[in-house]
Chains A and B, each alone.
Chain A
Amino acid sequence: MRIETTRSANALRMEHAAGFHGSATDLLDQLVPLAEQALDRAEPLATALQPDTERALDDRLGGELTSEERFVRLRPPDGGPAGASAQTLAARWALELRALSVAKGRPVTVLNEHTAAFDGADGRFWTELDAALNVALADLPVRITCFYPELPLHLEILDGARRNHPLLLSDGELRHNPGHHDPRAVIAARPAAQPPVLGPPDVRLSFSAWQLHEVRTTVEHALSGHGYERERLEDIVLAVNELATNAVEHGAPEAQLSLWTGGHGLLCEIDDGGTLRDPLPGLQAPHPAEPRGRGVWIARQLCDSLHVWTDGRGTHVRVHANP
């Protein structure tokens, strides 16, 4: 697994715009010029579009899109056994886009489209995704435009889009968005979604700062004999140790570890009674001189999914890690 430890030093930083469309045709009319500009500039193009949209865009470009070697399809949102996590998706896109911009040595154009399948109960998945992208992609040379329907099912989707995007695309032009807010303020007002409730855990352990050894032993035992390679097992133990350390270091004196083992890989939850200073932790590589914050950043890269959320009871982290 790739571990990035340095920040990139590109001149262009993220441009994050929102576009709104009234119909599929309207959407295409807005997408085509953005794609053409990227191709004209010989810059890489990455998309997270619905399959129908991508096909129609490719048709409009005369098949130039998908035949282009600079074209990359970003990993689409997925549910997975831990539930959909917008912050996990943002962290993964950040890795993919960083690699792409480094490989091509050029800024990347990203076309992103809302998919109702991930609206959940209230559409806040999209608010979390855009806020997390603002943090995770902050210093990457990326032009990203997120397209939302003018009339989504949940009003939250429009509200979130207007709060998260520093730029708005209208009539083919980017304009400054006066309603734009800092991503952490957005998440403070609209906390990350709570993932689906799981059944009773297979293993449960309360621990303090002096019992992190027990946390590691418990995870190691739970993984043994489930097809995890030695190195993978050690990395997962490290990831859980870092989350557990955070829980008892910044949170309450005691925290809970819950493990679900079985055919779906390891599901692990750490719950503490504390509050988060950073509601979107571990999305950005900490500066090398910064002693804190590296644990969650590394854990995010070692786990298949890592979702942090808060509620009235405290702070929770759910992790999914396949063999």
Chain B
Amino acid sequence: MTTTVEDCGSVDHAIAVPVSDEQLWQISAEFLAHGLVRGEHVIYFDDGTSDRVLERMTDDGVAVAGPLREGRFTIVPSDRHTSPHEVAETVRAAVDAALAAGYPAVRITGRLTFVVRHTGSDSGMADYDRVIEEVVRHRPAHILCIYDRARYPEEVLEAVRAAHRTEVVAPAIYDDGLLRITAVGPGTARVAGEVDHSNRPRIRSFLEAALDRALRLPDAPTDITLDLSSLRFLDVAGAVGLVHAAEEFPNAHRLVLTGVRPRIQRVLDRCGAPFATQLVVHARSDQPPAEQPSTDHPSTDHPSIDESPADESSAHQPERPAHEQARA
């Protein structure tokens, strides 16, 4: 079965096969965020991607500094393990320790590259997955194994897919490895990565389609919104394109850009964005996201064994706009 990353809060042992780095960061960040919201112990097995995953969590409005400081969120370097067995035992130890410490549950993800590097065979991987399966059985543990397409041959992917009951998917409107556009809601999309000469027309296509839908449906929102929190580069023609698109909107409609980073804001400003009346730019605050009130941290004296997932609503993304300020 498959589940979307928005609903993956309660999976026990799942696999994700991202097609791009941007998707890898998205899935990892959202999976980990589910755990932080629920007060779980959250662990990321890092193979050098943790900076980007933490950046993505910050983009998503998830406070990471506090949980990292308090030890609720741990980043474990993953390159020091030598065998699948050793990794599986590390996972087992982590789950045991977190549950013993009184956390309601433990949540682990990461890219497990060493597995293939050290075995080179399917059997080693299957072995590994069997141990993980045993670790999570009947226990409040959520483990998401990430195998990205760029690193594993197709037959390995088929084998590891078969070993997992659940696959977490994160569909995109467009993903070329540099730019990733995902639908967020009616007339709203998230644009992550970099926009340049090679993929600029994709933004335009999305805006045209979104505007068409907004005009066709009577109760569609009149704002077309692009969440640019994870947009790291926008070239001049891309910025000019956004300004022109907004100016060509029918009078009642606006193009709203949210979470705009300073770098993107400067390009937009140089391309006439301040003079476009139908373009609204919400700058992203330079402040890190407000610390979430830590979900009642379990005391070690009275370990909680309640593994029932928290109320579904709390598993969704925390509201973002709290830390955004509209630009004057």
Contact = CB atoms under 8 A, between A and B. Distances in A.
A248 B196 CA distance: 12
B233 interface: yes
A86 B131 CA distance: 71
B266 A245 contact: no
A238 B235 contact: yes
A298 B236 contact: yes
Nearest to A288: B272
A70 B164 CA distance: 78
A46 B29 CA distance: 57
Residue of B194, B235, B236 with most chain A CB atoms under a 10 A cut-off:
B236
Q: Is the interface of B mostly helix, strand, loop or mixed?
A: helix
A291 B244 contact: yes
B272 A209 contact: no
Given A245-B196, A291-B244, A5 B235 contact: no
Given A231-B262, A245-B235, A295-B236, A213 B275 contact: no
B263 A234 contact: yes
B263 A245 contact: no
A289 B244 CA distance: 8
Interface string A288-311: 110110110010000000000000
B269 A212 contact: no
Interface residues of A, number: 25
Given A3-B270, A294-B271, A212 B236 contact: no
A175 to B, nearest CB: 40
A255 B39 CA distance: 52
Contact of B194 (A213, A242, A288, A289): A213
A295 B271 CA distance: 9
A241 B178 CA distance: 15
Given A5-B270, A288-B272, A212 B196 contact: yes
A249 B196 CA distance: 11
Contacts of B194: 213, 216
Nearest to B234: A238
B208 to A, nearest CB: 16
Contact of A241 (B196, B240, B275): B196
B197 interface: yes
Contacts of B269: 3
Given A238-B236, A294-B240, A295-B236, A210 B267 contact: no
A245 B275 contact: no
Contacts of B198: 209-210, 212-213
A141 to B, nearest CB: 22
Given A234-B263, A238-B235, A294-B236, A213 B244 contact: no
Contact of B240 (A209, A213, A291): A291
Nearest to B178: A213
Given A231-B262, A288-B275, A291-B244, A213 B236 contact: no
B305 interface: no
Nearest to B261: A234
A58 interface: no
A51 B197 CA distance: 47
Contacts of A242: 235-236
Nearest to B176: A210
Contacts of B267: 238
Contacts of A295: 235-237
A235 interface: yes
B8 to A, nearest CB: 30
Nearest to A239: B236
Nearest to B241: A291
Contacts of B244: 289, 291
A31 B284 CA distance: 54
Given A212-B197, A245-B197, A291-B244, A298 B262 contact: no
Interface string A1-24: 001011000000000000000000
Nearest to A286: B240
Interface in B231-247: 233, 235-237, 240-241, 244
B280 to A, nearest CB: 18
A249 B200 CA distance: 13
A234 B263 CA distance: 7
B272 to A, nearest CB: 5
A210 B199 CA distance: 9
A235 B270 CA distance: 11
Q: 5 closest A-B pairs (Cβ-Cβ)?
A: A295-B236, A212-B196, A234-B263, A245-B197, A210-B198
Given A213-B178, A234-B263, A245-B235, 8 more contacts: A3-B270, A5-B275, A212-B235, A231-B262, A231-B266, A245-B237, A288-B275, A291-B241
16 contacts: A209-B198, A212-B198, A212-B235, A213-B198, A216-B233, A234-B266, A235-B266, A237-B233, A238-B235, A242-B235, A245-B237, A248-B197, A294-B237, A294-B270, A295-B236, A298-B236
